[in-house]
Amino acid sequence: MSLQKTATVVSSLVALLLLVIKFIVWIMSGSIAVLSSAIDSMLDLFVSVFNYFAIYNSEKKADSRFNYGRWKIEALASLFEWLVIIGSWLYILYESLKKFINNEKVEYIWESVWIMIVSVIITWTLVYYLQYVAKKTDNIVIKSDALHYKTDLYSNAWILIWLVIIYFTKFYIIDAIIGVLISIYIIYSAWELVHKWYMLLLDAALDEEEVQNIIKIINMQNKVSNFHELKTRQIGHIKYVEFHLVFNPEILLIDAHRIADHIEYSIPKIDNKYEWKVMIHLDPYDDSPRQ
C-alpha cells in the first residue's frame, strides 16, 4: 500500500475515533461548539474514506481510455472536500444562531474539557503525520486532508478554551458565539482548497522558478538557434514539459537528437521528487507564430 493510501486509512480511523468521542461529549453537555466539532469529524470520516478511493483510482496506470492517467481525480476529491466544508459551515452556523436565540445551557462542562483535551492531542498527532506524508509525496489529496484536520485542531483548541471559560463564568452564550466563529474560520480555511483544485483542473503552468530553470537548460545548448511554444503543467506527481527547438537546417538529425536527449535528461534534475514527461519537437527553422 502506498504511503498516501496508508495516510487516508489512518485519517479515517482517527476521524471515527474522534467522532465517537465528540458525540459522547455533545450528548453529555449539549454544547453546540462540541456538536459542530462532532459533525466536522463525521464529515472528515466520510471525506477520508472518499479520498482513499480517489487515490486508489488516481494511481491506476494510463490506458487506452485515459492516456494521461486518472490523476485529476485528486482535484475532484479536493473539490468534494470543499463542498463538504461548505455544508458543515452552514449547519454549524444555523445551530449556533438557534442556540444564541434560545440561550441554552451547557452541562457536564468539566468532563467535556477532559475529553476535548484528548481530542486535541489526537488531532495534533494526525496533522503532524499528514503534513509529513504531504511533504514527502506532494499529494494534493493528502495536503487537503492535512489542511482540513488542521482547522479541526484549531477549532478543538478554541472549544477547549471556551469550555473552561464557560465553566468558571457560567456565561453560556459564549458557546453559541464560538460556534459562529468556528463556522467562519472553517469557510475561510476552505479557500486554499478551492485554489488548489482550480489550478490543477485548468492545467496551470509550473512555478516561474522551474520554468526559468528549464529555459536556462535550453539556452546552455550552443547549437540551438532558438526555442518557442514552451508549455508546462502538472498532473498528480507528473510534470509535463513541451517545446520546439530550432536548429540550423544543415545540422545532422542525429546531432539534433542528441542535444534534445541531453535536454530531456537534464530537466528532471530540477526536482527529482517528481516524474517528468518532456516532449521536444525539432525544427529546422523558426516556425513560431508571428503576432
Do 127 and 235 belong to one domain? no
- Which residue, chain included where needed, has cell 444555523? 94
d(CA 242, CA 235): 14
What number of residues does the chain have?
291
Q: Which ranges in 103-172 belong to alpha helices (H)?
A: 109-137, 140-169
Is residue 65 a part of any domain in this protein? yes
Which pTM was predicted?
0.59
Do 183 and 224 belong to one domain? no
CATH of the domain at 22: 1.20.1510.10
Is residue 168 a part of any domain in this protein? yes
Question: CB under 8 Å to 141, separation ≥6 — which residues?
Answer: 4, 8, 51, 54, 55, 58, 74, 77, 78
Is residue 132 a part of any domain in this protein? yes
Output the nine-digit C-alpha cell for 102: 434560545
Do 63 and 127 belong to one domain? yes
How far, CA to CA in Å, does 285 sit from each of 225, 246, 266, 278? 9, 6, 24, 21
Q: Give the residue from 172, 27, 158, 179 showing the smallest Cα distance to 90.
A: 179
CATH of the domain at 250: 3.30.70.1350
Query: What is the H or E stretch that residue 233 is in?
Result: strand 224-235
Count of CB atoms within 10 A of residue 59's CB? 18
Q: Which ranges in the chain belong to alpha helices (H)?
A: 3-29, 32-58, 73-102, 109-137, 140-169, 173-189, 191-201, 208-219, 253-266
Is residue 105 a part of any domain in this protein? yes
d(CA 226, CA 286): 7
Sheet holding 238-247, edge to edge: 224-235, 238-247, 275-283
Helix 3-29 to helix 32-58 angle (10° resolution) is 160
Per the DSSP assignment, residues forming a β-bridge with 231 are 242
N-terminal to C-terminal alpha carbon distance within the chain: 51
Contact call for residues 220 and 263 (beta carbons, < 8 A): no
pLDDT at 291: 44
Domain that holds residue 278: 208-283
Q: Give the residue from 141, 181, 143 showing the smallest Cα distance to 159.
A: 181
Domain count, the chain: 2
Cβ neighbourhood burial of 269 (10 Å; 0-12, 13-18, 19+)? exposed
Is residue 267 a part of any domain in this protein? yes
Do 132 and 53 belong to one domain? yes
Q: Give pLDDT tens digits along the chain (291 positions).
A: 677 778 888 888 988 888 888 888 778 777 766 776 777 777 777 777 777 776 777 667 777 887 777 777 767 766 776 777 777 777 777 777 776 777 666 666 777 778 778 888 988 999 899 888 888 877 767 877 787 788 778 777 877 887 788 778 777 777 677 767 777 766 776 676 677 677 777 888 998 999 999 999 999 998 898 999 999 998 767 899 999 999 988 899 999 999 999 999 999 999 887 889 999 999 987 767 654
Per the DSSP assignment, residues forming a β-bridge with 277 are 240
Is residue 165 a part of any domain in this protein? yes
